[in-house]
Structure 1
Amino acid sequence: MSINTTSLKNFLTIALQYVYPHHLVCRLLSFLAHLENEAWKDYMVKRFGKRYKVNTKEAISRNLKRYPSFNSFFTRELKPGARPITELECGVASPADGTVSQAGKISDGELIQAKGKNYTVAALLGGEEQRTDNFKEGMFTTIYLSPRDYHRIHMPFNGVLQETVHIPGRLFSFDQATVNAMPNLYAKNERVVSFFDTEAGPMALVMVGSIFSSSIETVWDGIVTPPSYSEIRRWNYPYNPPSAKKGEEIGRFNRGSTVILLFAKGAVEWESTMISGNAVKMGALIGKVIS
């Protein structure tokens, strides 16, 4: 494919998504996904499982009758031991199943989205200077969850929750063409940011919605979105803040999407396996805290 043809294809991919009614489609998908109709649910689960080759052997229940809706199947719980959590005390566990999109250092407050495409920590985290400064020269990794992946999100390292931020936005796709071509993609999409204090210092975990992601949910606040809002919302926990140990469930995507994990400067180093395109499993060792 020539450069001009590639550029035209990328332009059309982005242009069409700008006029796409993201939130309307997601509301419709959410309704269908939560519909408790056995015939519909069985049809969707079987079609989805076949198309994406979903490994149902890992699920705590392989009996489709146990799932009242397609969404309950999509966010299915796994059998105990299906995802061993790294036992290394200084180890950082992968928060999700998925594919490494990027991993590396945050340079001058910028993260890598794709080759030749950067975006800022400030834009990603909602622009609050005090929070942003913690990560300006830190470390980050971006993990993409495909439809076939396990969609519950787990704690990478022991920590105490300080703040949750819901940042409204669009729901652009995370297909490779869009990631490569659309500027500031992760800072454009709707997302939920959780800020933690850990023994390794400040840590931020960002759950980013996408074109078919109907909702983002956390253990401590329940469903954060939908509905969608026009302004940034913040939750603080001055009294008895929630805490989570490494490997504990902290949230889930009801279809979608991408997780971005950030640590402060000098806090962690990523494993050599954290290379763009490599698969990771929740709980696996992805980095080590620098003592």
Structure 2
Amino acid sequence: MSIRLGLLTTVARRPRLVHSQPPCIRHYSSVQPRSPRARIVYIGGIATLTATAYVQWHNKVERDNERLHREDKAYISGPWQVQVAAALPLKAISRLWGRFNNMTIPEPLRVPGFRLYSWLFGCNLDEMAEPDLRKYPNLAAFFYRPLKDGVRPIQQGLVSPADGTILHVGLVHERQIEQVKGLTYSLDALIGHDAESAQPSTLHPVTQDEFAEVNGIPYGLDDMIGTNAQQVESSVGKDATPAHLRGSNDPRFKTVASNTTLYYCVIYLAPGDYHRFHSPTDWVVEKRRHFAGELFSVSPYFVKLLADLFVLNERVVLLGRWRYGFFSMTPVGATNVGSIKINFDEALRTNEKEALAGGTYTEVSFQSAGPQLGGKLARKGEELGGFELGSTIVLCFEAPQDFQFSIESGQKIKVGETLGMIL
């Protein structure tokens, strides 16, 4: 009897051994999601990580391929400060700062707030056209404040387009502009590689007489700046025409004159400076190029750290000619200064979320603004536009070989003060 009970006990225990799982199976199943919802989340997470890794890899391959095929393109390289800045979403930060700038400030806070800002950054409140600080509803209006008439007299020669500090001046050597001592960047990359527009021109210069008379027909200056201009699509502004609507071969920018050379001047606008810029001479603006790019700081400190800074940043290039040939003026964007305004280009929008691909640009022509001269006439000292904080302006122009700068690097300068002249 006892033997039978033992056999029954053994048989009864066997199913437990059959249904029990080995230790390895139990360990594996313990990490799996127990519910269908958890399994879906688990699988979705793995799929998301995989897709993200693939996109990052694909973007890296595209950047590497683009680098191999674009020799003149600028790339971000530098010490750890540059790498940290490159990792930040500077364009998004600048857009956010722009919204903050346009927030209405309660009137009781305006006077103390603007006086504090002026004390911190050295603003001269005595020069303001509107001295009552309560009349400025927000920071944007204060940054973009106009000046009293007569506080910036226009001197002889080529004059400064803005208040600021001279970063660098000199000759363009082998189509390279010196950023700081020993560090250069490409003129073609700055204003556009396809441009014979970067070449000096042998077209007969725009003289003062031509501003008064074209083809033997007398014209007033008001007639020359576009009163007879055609109305074009609002998408490019009333004084601009899309570049593809006109011929791509522009005879104004072809051959190099033997008796002229290319010069450059770089001016930095600090946060406390007057933020509008003016025409440095009488010249004709024939086209505008808007380059998509980054918004790194353009402070003198950062200029020394990041090579090709002005080529990497978003910028607006105004191309044209003056009495000695080729002339260009390039306002460059910076951190918290995504908005660059050109008074005669209503359609220009900078630091847009849906921007162009890096290194590309759009171009419009101003030929319809002044048919007699082939562009928009900018008179010396005339306000052309401005920034919404501080930034940089790069002038590049053709002039006779006896042109000489009267300023030097590190010098403070104001609108209308002489940069240089023909000896």
TM-score of the superposed pair, with normalisation by structure 1? 0.89
| Bigger helix fraction | 2
Once the two structures are superposed, what CA deviation does each residue of 1:172-207 show, in whole Å capped at 9, x if it has no partner? 112333211211111110000001221121110000
Q: Which has the higher strand share?
A: 1
Candidates 138, 144, 148, aligned match of 2:268: 144
Letter in 2 for 1:63: D
1:234 alignment partner, SS class = strand
Gapped regions of structure 2 (runs ≥ 5): 1-77, 202-255
Superposition pairs for residues 50-89 of structure 1, below 5 Å? 50-86=119-155, 88=156
2: distance between equivalents of 1:169 and 1:131? 21
1:225 counterpart residue number: 350
- The one of the two structures with greater contact order (alpha-carbon pairs below 8 A, sep at least 6) is 1
SS at match of 1:112: strand
How far did residue 209 of structure 1 move?
Answer: 0.6
2:365 is matched with 236
Offset at 1:264? Answer: 1.6
Q: Deviations over 1:40-67 (max 9, x none)?
A: 6556423321211211100111101211
Where 2:363 maps in the other structure, the secondary structure is: strand
Q: Is structure 2 residue 251 aligned with structure 1 residue 182?
A: no
Secondary structure of the equivalent of 1:30? helix
User: Which of 236, 246, 265 pairs up with 2:380?
Assistant: 246
User: Given residue 95 of structure 2, which amino acid in structure 1 is its aligned partner?
Assistant: R
Instruction: Tell me the residue number matched to 1:192.
Output: 316
Alpha-carbon spacing, 1:41–1:131, altered in 2? closer, same or farther (3 Å): farther
Pairing partner for 2:188 from 114, 122, 137: 122
Note the 1:3-42 alignment, pairs <5 A.
11-39=79-107
- Distance in 2, matches of 1:242 and 1:179, equals 32
The residue type equivalent to 1:94 in the other structure is S
Question: Cα 1:195–1:114, aligned 2, differ >3 Å: closer, same or farther?
Answer: same
| Between 261-270 and 146-155, the greater mean CA deviation after superposition | 261-270
2:411 to 278, 283, 291: 278
Contact 1:195 1:205 in 2 (8 A): yes
User: Which amino acid is the alignment partner of residue 168 of structure 1?
Assistant: A
- Compared CA separation, residues 235 and 43, structure 1 to 2 (3 A): farther
Tell me which residue corresponds to 2:395. 261
Match of 1:48, SS state, is: helix
8 Å Cα contact 2:268-2:391 kept in structure 1: yes
1:226 alignment partner AA: N
Distance 2:307 2:411 in 1: 23
Root-mean-square deviation (CA, aligned residues, Å) is: 1.9
Matched AA of 1:263? F
Partner residue, 2:421: 288
TM-score by length of 2: 0.62
Matched, 1:108 2:174: yes
For 1:38 and 1:203, how far apart are their aligned partners in 2?
44
Q: Secondary structure of 1:141's match?
A: strand
Q: What secondary structure sits across from 1:102 in the alignment?
A: strand
| Correspondent of 1:98 among 154, 161, 164 | 164
Aligned residues: 277
After alignment, is 167-176 or 108-117 more displaced? 167-176
Unaligned runs of 5+ in 1: 1-9
Among 162, 169, 177, which residue is 2:286 paired with? 162
C-alpha distance 116-26 of structure 1, shift in aligned 2 (>3 A): same
**Is the 1:201–1:267 contact (alpha carbons within 8 Å) kept by the matching residues of 2?**
no
CA apart distance, 1:266: 2.5
Assess, with a 3 A threshold, how the Cα gap between structure 1 residues 129 and 271 changes in structure 2: closer, same or farther. closer
Measure the CA separation in 1 of the matches of 2:135 and 2:324: 40
Q: How many angstroms apart in 1 are the aligned matches of 2:300 and 2:321?
A: 33
Letter in 2 for 1:29: W
Structure 1 stretch displaced more, 38-47 or 180-189 = 38-47
Query: What secondary structure sits across from 1:81 in the alignment?
Result: coil
Q: C-alpha separation between the residues in 2 aligned to 1:168 and 1:270?
A: 33
Deviation per CA, 1:93-130: give whole Å up to 9, x if none. 11000000000100010000011100110011022231
Partner residue in 2 for 1:4: none
Runs of 4+ in 1 over 4 A off after TM superposition: 39-44
AA matched with 1:165:
R
Tell me, in whole angstroms, the C-alpha distance in 2 between the residues paired with 1:24 and 1:60.
32
How far apart are 1:23 and its partner, in Å? 0.8
Using the TM superposition, give the Cα deviation of residue 152 of structure 1 relative to its aligned residue in structure 2, in angstroms: 0.6
Give yes or no for contact 1:110–1:121 (8 Å, CA) kept in 2: yes
User: Identity rate of aligned residues, in percent?
Assistant: 29
